[in-house]
Amino acid sequence: MPFTRRARSSALKAKNLALGANAASLRLLLRPRKMVDYATQSLFLLNTVDGPPGIPVKSVFEVLPCESVEEVKIASLQGDKDYYFFTQGGPFLADLLSLCLICRIIRATTIFEIGTCYGYTALHFALNSPPSAKVYTLDLPIGAPPQHKLKTSVVDEGTVASREPRAAGGKYLCFEGMEAASKINCLYGDSAAFDYSPFHAKVDFFFIDGAHSYDYARSDTLNALKCCHPGSVIAWHDFGRAEVNGVTRWLEELSEEREIYRIPGGSLAFSVV
């Protein structure tokens, strides 16, 4: 399995390099990893400029009714490189800000997230929701071989593997020990096999950031729709990114029957139920 994952990862990087590189990037030839990262980001930025015509670009403020938002709260997690919303630059910051704004504008009291990872977005949902709010975040259990009901992407497999060393060192969820943690409820299991029935028609804001294959993006969305009610918001992360195009392909298909928007300059897509 590790060899297969490495082979698929290498093929994906080679494809992104071939499509996203340009003459200016040749100065990175002696730093191949940087060059691949640059090419992948170039493909993403191209998508933000010339993306699918059926998914319009609109900010959260343009879609959700709101007079003003006086503030959003951003957690200070200095010295921890794993919290990539800051370390990966502008698009991730646009995604994080938009997620916080959605919480603030709709005053979500029941929030459900697929894809906890290190708990960074769950923490910000807790920080930017009313005091009575509850945040439910679902991920695969640490320490057990992942059991996937549906097909995953090579990026998903790498993300799951990256959590193990951090968990072995003790604290791996960034909100541990914080006051906001009292709002957060960690759930464990495969999102395609999880029992969502207790949450049906009760979720105000549903964030999908789990496995990024087409099969999981579709399954997670269909489950989210059952959990939401009229006026709820569903958001998807990593829309338009070259390395996780299962999300993009699914949302392009879904946009034929639902209004879906993508934020300016970021990889967040969202829809009002």
Beta-sheet pairing, 228-236 with 203-208: parallel
Q: What is the CATH number of the domain that holds 223?
A: 3.40.50.150
Q: Are residues 44 and 93 in the same domain?
A: no
CA atoms within 13 Å, Cβ hemisphere of 235: 30
Q: How far apart are CA 267 and CA 248, in angstroms?
A: 10
What b/e readout covers 66-75, taking b as 16+ CB neighbours within 10 angstroms?
A: eeeeeebebb
Please choose, from the candidates 221, 199, 201, the residue with its C-alpha nearest in 3D space to the C-alpha of residue 209: 221
Q: How far apart are CA 266 and CA 249, in angstroms?
A: 17
Q: How many helices (H) and strands (E) does the chain have?
A: 9, 7
Q: Which of 50, 69, 85 is the last residue of a domain?
A: 50
Q: Are residues 195 and 267 in the same domain?
A: yes
Q: Are residues 29 and 102 in the same domain?
A: no
Q: How far apart are CA 97 and CA 214, in angstroms?
A: 26
Report the chain's mean pLDDT, rounded to a whole number.
81
Q: Are residues 70 and 5 in the same domain?
A: no
Task: Say whether 110 sits in a helix, a strand or coil.
Answer: strand
Type of residue at 214: Y
The pLDDT tens digits for 142-154 are: 777 777 889 887 7
69 — pLDDT class (breaks 50, 70, 90):
confident
CB atoms within 10 A of CB 107: 12
Q: Are residues 179 and 97 in the same domain?
A: yes
Task: Say whether 221 sits in a helix, a strand or coil.
Answer: helix
Q: Are residues 255 and 237 in the same domain?
A: yes
Type of residue at 99: L
The pLDDT tens digits for 48-58 are: 665 666 789 99
Q: Are residues 43 and 59 in the same domain?
A: no
**Positive or negative CA dihedral for 220, 104, 163, 245?**
positive
In eight-state DSSP terms, residue 24 is: G
Cα 137 from chain centre: 12
Type of residue at 118: Y
Q: How far apart are CA 239 and CA 245, in angstroms?
A: 7
Q: Are residues 162 and 231 in the same domain?
A: yes
267 CB-near residues (< 8 Å, 6+ apart): 44, 91, 92, 95, 237, 238, 239, 240, 241
The pLDDT tens digits for 216-268 are: 999 999 999 999 999 999 999 988 876 667 999 999 999 999 999 999 888 89
Asked whether 215 and 151 are in contact (CB, 8 A), the reply is: yes
Q: Are residues 155 and 99 in the same domain?
A: yes
Cα 88 from chain centre: 14
Higher pLDDT, 185 or 10: 185
Tally of domains in the chain:
2
Q: Are residues 64 and 20 in the same domain?
A: no
Q: How far apart are CA 5 and CA 78, in angstroms?
A: 32
Type of residue at 269: A
Q: Are residues 199 and 114 in the same domain?
A: yes
Enter the tokens of residue 126.
Answer: 């807790």
pLDDT of residue 24: 53
What count of residues does the chain have? 273
Q: Note down the domain range covering 6.
A: 1-50
Q: Are residues 185 and 221 in the same domain?
A: yes
18 — pLDDT class (breaks 50, 70, 90):
very low
Check pLDDT > 50 for residue 16. no
